[in-house]
Amino acid sequence: MSGWKKFKIKDVVYINPENYSTKDQWDYINYLETSNLTEGRIDSLQKIHVGIDKIPSRAKRKVKVDDVLISTVRPNQKHYGIIRNFVNNFVVSTGFAVLRANQDMLDPYYLYLLVTRDNVTEYLSNVAEDSTTAYPSITPNIIGELDIALPPLLEQKAIAEILRSLDDKIDLLHRNNQTLEAMAETIFRQWFIEEADKFDKCLFGDEFDIVMGQSPPGNTYNEVGDGIVFFQGRSDFGFRFPTERVYCTSPKRIAKRFDVLLSVRAPVGDINMAMEECCIGRGLAAIRHKKGYTSYAYYKVKSLQDEFDVFEREGTVFGAVSKNDLKSIKTTMPSEKLVRKFEDVVSPIDSQIYFNTLQIRTLQSLRNALLPKLITGEIRVPV
C-alpha cells in the first residue's frame, strides 16, 4: 500500500455542508426521504411547491451532484446512495447524513464505495442497535470518525471507474426490469381491470390455490446453504424476486418456482415471486393459479393491493390476513382463453425480467468480490 495515507472521514469530507431554508426563495423543492433510496437507487422524488404545500420539517439537507447520502436511522436497511445526476432544488431528509468529498483529496465515487462496503454498514448497524433512541440510529459524527486509508487520487479514480462501470450495468438492468414490469402491468390493467364488468364475479379462492406458510424449528435454520432456501417473511423481498440468505433443513410448507409470495403479516400485501422452490414461514403465503398461469397470477395478486390494505388497516395492531380472508376476496374471473392469451403476451416479458435478475446477481457477486480487494490495496490498479 505504498503511497496510501490514513485519515478519518471528517478530515477529507464535509458532513451536512448545506441546509435549506425559506431564504433560498425557491418556487419548489425536490424532496427525498430515506425510504425512497435503497442501495443507490432512488424510487421517487416528491415535488413540493413552496408556500402552497406544507414542506416536511425534516426537509433540510441541500444536496448536489456527487454528494453521498447515508441514512442515520436503521442503517442496516441500506438506504444510501450517491447523487449521479443534476436535480434542481434538491433537498433530503435530516434522516440522511450528507457527505461531500474534498475533491482535492478524495474522489466522490471512491468515498461512496468506502462508506457503503459491507464491513462499514455492519459496523454502523451495530452502533445503531446499541443506541438508546426509539429506532436504531447513529449520528453523522459516527461516520466522521471512521478510519480510512486513501491511495493517490489518480488511483482512487481508476478504482472508482472500474466499480462504477459495474454499478452502471446493474442499474441499467434494474431500470430495464422496472420498464418491463410497467409494460406488463399496463396490459393487465387494460385487459382485466378496465374490462372487469364483462367478467363473471368470483372469489379469489375460485381462481387460486393458497399455501399458508409455517415456520420450521429455529434450530434448522442456517446461512451456509444446507437444505432448501427459506423465507420467513418479506424482509428479503426484492424488486421481483427475494434474495436467498437463510436456508432450512426441515421445511414445513413449500412454495413452487414462480409462485406468488404474499406477505400476510404486517405489512400485509407486499409481493414477490419465488425464483425457485422454497420453504415459507408464517409471514408468507404462496399463491398459484389453479391452471398454472404464473404471469397472470403475479399481476392479478399485485392488482389487489387495495383489498390487502383493508386487512392492514382493519386487522389487529400487527396487521394479518388468514387463508379464509384471502379466499373470500371478491374479484372477477375472465375466460381461460383471455388468460392464456395474456400469458402468451406477457410471459416473454417476465422471462426477460428473470434473466435480467440472474445477470444482476452475477454482476453484484463480481462487484462484491472486487470491492474489498481494491479498497484495501490487495489488488492494485495501474495508473
pLDDT tens digits along 283-324 = 999 999 999 999 999 999 999 999 888 876 654 445 688 999
226/188 same-domain check? no
17/101 same-domain check? yes
In this prediction, residue 133 carries a pLDDT of 76
In this prediction, residue 312 carries a pLDDT of 66
Of 128, 149, 170, the domain-final residue:
149
Give rounded-to-5 percent helix, strand, coil for the chain: 40, 25, 35
236/328 same-domain check? yes
18/111 same-domain check? yes
- Give per-residue pLDDT as tens, 81-133: 999 999 999 999 999 999 999 999 999 999 999 999 988 988 898 988 887 77
Kind plus residue range of the DSSP H or E element containing 363: helix 336-375
In this prediction, residue 319 carries a pLDDT of 67
In this prediction, residue 313 carries a pLDDT of 65
Closest CA to 345 of 214, 195, 191, 208: 191
Q: The whole model's pTM is what?
A: 0.89
204/192 same-domain check? no
Judge whether 271 and 260 are in contact, CB under 8 Å.
Answer: yes
Q: Which residues contact 105 (CB under 8 A, 6 or more apart)?
A: 7, 12, 150, 153
Q: Which domain holds residue 47?
A: 7-149
**212 located within any domain:** yes
In this prediction, residue 52 carries a pLDDT of 72
Q: Please count the CA atoms within 13 angstroms of the CA of 42 that sit on its side-chain side.
A: 17
Phi, psi of 322 (to 5 degrees): -100, 170
Distances in Å between the Cα of 24 and the Cα atoms of 58, 61, 90, 113 are 16, 13, 12, 32
In this prediction, residue 22 carries a pLDDT of 77
Q: pLDDT below 70 — which residues of the chain?
A: 1, 312-319
In this prediction, residue 193 carries a pLDDT of 96
25/80 same-domain check? yes
34/162 same-domain check? no
**1 located within any domain:** no
β-strand 41-42 against 13-15: which pairing, if any? unpaired
**2 located within any domain:** no
In this prediction, residue 129 carries a pLDDT of 86
DSSP string, 58-109: TEEEE--TT-EEEESBSGGG--EEE--S--TTEEEETTEEEEEE-TTT--HH
Closest CA to 327 of 298, 304, 309: 304
293/206 same-domain check? yes
299/214 same-domain check? yes
